[in-house]
Amino acid sequence: MSVSAAQKRVIALILAIIVGTALYTVMPPDWPEGTYQLALEIPRYGVNGTLTYILGEGSQDTTVAFSGNNINITVNVEAVTSISPGNKIVITAKIEGAENLTLSDIHLKVLTPDGRRYEYLPIKYTNNEAVFEIQPYSKLKESAFIFGSAIVLFAAASVIHYVITGIYVTLALVLTGVVAQKAAFTMYMAPLIWVFIAGSAMEIIIKETGLDKRVARTLTSFATSPARLIIGAGLIVSFLSMWMSNTAATYVILPLVISLVTQAKIDNTRFSSILFASLAMAASVGGTATIIGTPPNLIVSQLLNDVVYKNVGATQFMDFNRWLMVGAPAWLIGITVGLLLAIMYARVVAADELPRIGEALRKLKVEEEKKPFSKLEILGLANMLFLVALWLTEPIHHISSGIAGAIGLLVFFATGVLDVKKHFKKLAWDLMVLFGAGLTLGKALMATGFAEQLLVVLSPVRYMGFAAWFVVGFAAYIVGTFISSHTSASAFIAPLTIPLGMLIAAGMGIPLEAGAAVATIAAVVSLNNAVALPISTPPSAIVYSTGRVRMRDLVMYGLLYGIIANTLAIGILANYWIGVLTP
């Protein structure tokens, strides 16, 4: 019996309430006002000291000094007179006489008035001073319910549009008091959102001027063998996906490939099934290379800037260039693995077809349209190169990626390459809601203590060392493959990977900012490599809907690709990412 869209929506709403209620129930209560006991310990040197601190009404700055084993420590706790989301307790500890301390050497234990115990590591340790930022639990249960229900609703994006879920998330956070009304929609205009809006404008330019067809026609002269057809089609769609949505890039190249295989009379073969499966891979992984390649890149970049790098004064750290340094190597690994795997897969399952297919492709004569570049093509190309140049030269002119995107958008309309009446409504304004809601939810989870509670539950991960990056990456890969679309998943994965990455970083002795970023990047790269099912990503759904891909090939090829590409990308690049992502 088939299930209607309305019934699916009802099921999704019921599951959202169940999951939200479950998280609400298991979360501990908010911290009460009253007297707290704090204990600073350095086990390596056998030094510890305690102090009493009042949180809430009557709170005052508190300072205490203690010593032991020739080590002197002065602890200062700033007053916090009210417990509310985002109102953190800042504790500094000046440590004299201890050498070569790392973050994992310094522990702060907190005993609440109602008997709960928590342990924290410093967020930074420089010039013999350790700094702790503790978020008292406030509106924790409310934020947990919203987060749990949002996971289900984002995963059900095929029947409940993510714009609806995004608006629900923002309003729920405001109405429950987690987010102040005046701050409700501030993240909807976050700077990096303008990068993606400009990217969506570039997508329109590429299609409207005919540049997409000009690029795609180069395939006809290159594809003279099965391997060259896989490589040529894959590289073209992957390149297009760097600058337009992977959905649009797939639609650009798909008709040409279908035409080629039809004219060569190699349609509905085992080889063509693998060819189309590899197109989905190439379109998806292409979005990894640039910050505008796919929405998850922008969502996590802005969240890292606002939640992590803001603490060290680097609010625009994750920009176009920084992402290119992170994403391009991951794309190179992914596309190389994907294309080689497709060629080898074809040689295994379609070996008897390849000689005939190669001969058919060599004999195929596709009439190429040899036209000079039109004025519109030249103008469109010049406009896009201008914007890309602005992004790439940010270290020189210091114009942020978001402002550069807005400048590019202005130039597109001012020069006439885009028409306001015709094209303005076609820009990706719907994604502004997804970005804004995802960023608002992420910041809310940090401000209510949800992140701290997550660390309490996942604290054993800190002892896994380098292997922890693989755990994070493959957890995201499973979500992206079997549960939720890449875009929807990124809205709730980043708020989890940031605190988790900090925990891993503390255990490895690397900067917390780098740990948060590496865990998040590993998750996003793994998401973009999830292509094994039609529900995993739009390119997979598109190629499968043509009826030219066998489900067995899509699943087998997609899973092999995801496992190999993620393993190599994380294994090869994790240490490199740490260096690039350390402010």
Residue 331 lies in a domain: yes
Asked whether 254 and 263 are in contact (CB, 8 A), the reply is no
Are 205 and 326 within one domain? yes
Tokens at 579, concatenated: 């260096």
- Cα–Cα distance list, 82 to 91, 117, 134, 487, 519 (Å): 16, 20, 14, 37, 33
- Please indicate, yes or no, whether residues 204 and 66 belong to a single structural domain of this protein: no
CA–CA distance, 51 with 373 (Å, rounded to integer): 74
CB 107 within 8 A of CB 119: yes
Question: Which pTM value belongs to this model?
Answer: 0.72
| Lookup result for tokens 């501030």 | 186
526 is a domain residue:
no
- 359 inside domain: yes
Question: Tokens 């020069």 identify what position?
Answer: 415
Pair (347, 422) in one structural domain? yes
Q: Are residues 233 and 97 in the same domain?
A: no
Q: How far apart, in Å, do the first and last CA atoms of the chain sit? A: 56
* Domain count across the chain: 2
| Residue 490 domain-assigned (yes or no) | no
Q: Which domain holds residue 339?
A: 193-294+322-426
Which contiguous run of DSSP H or E holds residue 110? strand 107-111
Q: Does residue 219 share a domain with residue 125?
A: no
Looking at the fold, whether 257 and 336 belong to one and the same domain comes out as yes
Q: Which of 386, 404, 426 is the last residue of a domain?
A: 426
State residue 1's pLDDT score: 56
Domain boundary among 89, 108, 136: 136
- The pLDDT profile of the chain, 583 residues, written as one tens digit per residue, is 567 888 889 999 999 999 999 999 999 999 999 999 999 998 888 888 899 999 999 999 999 998 888 889 999 999 999 999 989 999 999 999 888 887 778 889 999 999 999 888 887 787 888 888 899 999 999 999 998 898 888 777 778 888 898 899 999 999 999 999 888 888 787 776 787 788 788 878 877 887 767 765 677 777 778 888 899 989 988 988 888 777 777 777 777 787 777 777 777 788 888 999 999 999 999 989 998 888 788 888 888 888 788 877 777 788 888 999 999 999 999 999 999 999 999 899 888 888 888 887 777 654 445 678 888 889 988 998 898 888 878 778 888 778 888 999 999 999 999 999 999 988 878 778 877 887 788 788 888 988 778 767 776 777 788 999 998 898 888 877 765 566 666 666 777 788 888 888 888 888 888 998 999 999 999 988 988 877 677 788 778 877 788 888 888 999 999 999 999 999 999 999 999 999 8
Is the same domain home to 334 and 402? yes
DSSP assignments along 422-469, one per residue: HHGGGS-THHHHHHHHHHHHHHHHHHTTHHHHHHHHHGGGGGGTTHHH
Q: How many CA atoms lie within 13 A of 476 on its CB side?
A: 33
Relative to beta strand 129-134, strand 89-96 is antiparallel
Q: How far apart are CA 578 and CA 572, in angstroms?
A: 12
Whether 112 is covered by a domain: the verdict is yes
Can you say whether residue 70 is alpha, beta or left, with left for phi > 0 and alpha for psi between -120 and 50 degrees?
left
Answer for the pair 446, 87: CB distance below 8 angstroms, yes or no. Answer: no
Amino acid identity of residue 358, one-letter, is G
Same domain, 345 and 199: yes
> Is residue 31 classed exposed, middle or buried when 0-12, 13-18 and 19+ CB atoms within 10 A define those classes?
buried
Residue type for 486, please? H
For position 364, what pLDDT does the model report?
Answer: 67
Measured CA to CA, the distance from residue 26 to residue 21 in angstroms comes to 9
In a domain, 571, yes or no: no
Alpha helices in 509-549 (DSSP H): 512-528, 538-545
Q: In the listed set 136, 163, 183, which residue is the last one of a domain according to the structure?
A: 136
Is the domain of 358 the same as that of 283? yes
Q: What is the pLDDT of residue 445?
A: 82
Please report whether residue 48 resides in a domain. Answer: yes
Res 189: pLDDT? 79
Whether residue 484 lies inside any domain: the answer is no
